Amino acid sequence: MCHLAIENSQFSFHFVISNFPPFFFQNVDHKLKYRSKKGQLPFVELNGEEIADSVIIIKELAARFNHDLDAALTAEQRNVAHAMISMIDNHLAWVVMWWRTKYPDQVLKGYKVNLQHALGTRIPNGILNFCFKFALGRKWFQGSKKVKAQGIGVHSPEEINAFGQSDLKVLSDMLADKPFFFGDEPTTLDVVVFAHLAQIYFIDKEVAYPLRDYMTESCPNLVGLVNRMKDRCFSDWDEICTNLDLNSHLPKPEPEQQKDNKEAAKDEKEAEGKELEPDDKDIEKEKADDKEKAKEKDVEENKEKETK
């Protein structure tokens, strides 16, 4: 069994596309309490062995289970895929991270985050939301520090959005009119692109987000790719988003078997036809009344005899 942390769903897509059996992996909802030995999320546990870092996880699992999504790619295509994935992980992802640290209130609304559910706490959401927005917007917050240290955070909002748009334009030009980046079947690059672009495209439309709007208006082929990957991997996408079920791919325990209709009808009929047993007190009372009536009858008979 492969246990996946909830911070990154990229591996779920990888397993589904690779046609792994549905019971092969299980997402673990640890309420953000755990990290790998390297201090990272996501990480997986495979038969008790921990594997961390997205690139290492995919590479390791592909080798162990002989499921390489990129097996049909040429050496040149593999190099291009490597360059694109590096751009996404080390540049585009930081553009999105900057937006999250800059506008925490929009993050909560855009992703419809229920912090009470995510953290597994009974503290009211109002208090949790306030603390989240306060902490995420502070300069001392770890996320803000990382964004600035990476280099993205030192630029103006307009410049950062332009960086993100350039990355999307590169991906859009490469995809062109193909269903997937390297042809008719998805590869690791398609999985990585979907994992990141879904976080942009599916932000609630009521929340203003320039990068999503640019993608929708100027990169419709990327929107098409996101929807194709969604439909291919998650036919029950709406149900997952509504119920927050991390393991919709796993069979659920069946409800207890109810009695057959015939047996139920038979039981009902027997219940209706069954007479209620008289109460013990009622029986005693009836006996006492009978004795009293017998005494009264004897007294009347004696009176009649005396009269005669």
pLDDT tens by residue, 295-307: 666 666 666 656 5
Tokens read off for 302 = 């004696």
Neighbours of 7 (CB within 10 A): 13
Mean pLDDT of the chain: 77
Q: Is the dihedral of CA 83, 84, 85, 86 positive or negative?
A: positive
Q: Determine phi and psi for 222, rounding to 5 degrees.
A: -70, -35
CA-based radius of gyration for the chain? 35
Any idea which of 7-21, 159-173, 265-279 has the lowest mean pLDDT? 7-21
- Name all contacts of 15-18 with Cβ < 8 Å and 24+ positions apart: 16/232, 16/233, 16/234, 16/249, 17/69, 17/186, 17/191, 17/232, 17/233, 18/62, 18/65, 18/67, 18/69
Contacts of 34 (CB under 8 A, 6+ apart): 5
Neighbours of 81 (CB within 10 A): 21
pLDDT of residue 82: 95
Cα 156 from Cα 95, distance rounded (Å) = 12
Strand order in the sheet with 25-28: 25-28, 2-5, 43-46, 49-52
Contacts of 237 (CB under 8 A, 6+ apart): 230, 231
Cα 161 from Cα 153, distance rounded (Å) = 11
Between 141 and 11, whose confidence is greater? 141
pLDDT of residue 268: 58
What predicted TM-score, i.e. pTM, was given to this entire model? 0.68
Query: For 229-286, how does the pLDDT look when each residue is reduced to its tens digit (9 = 90+)?
Result: 998 888 777 777 777 666 665 666 665 554 455 555 555 556 555 544 455 555 666 6
Mean pLDDT, to the nearest integer, of 34-63?
78
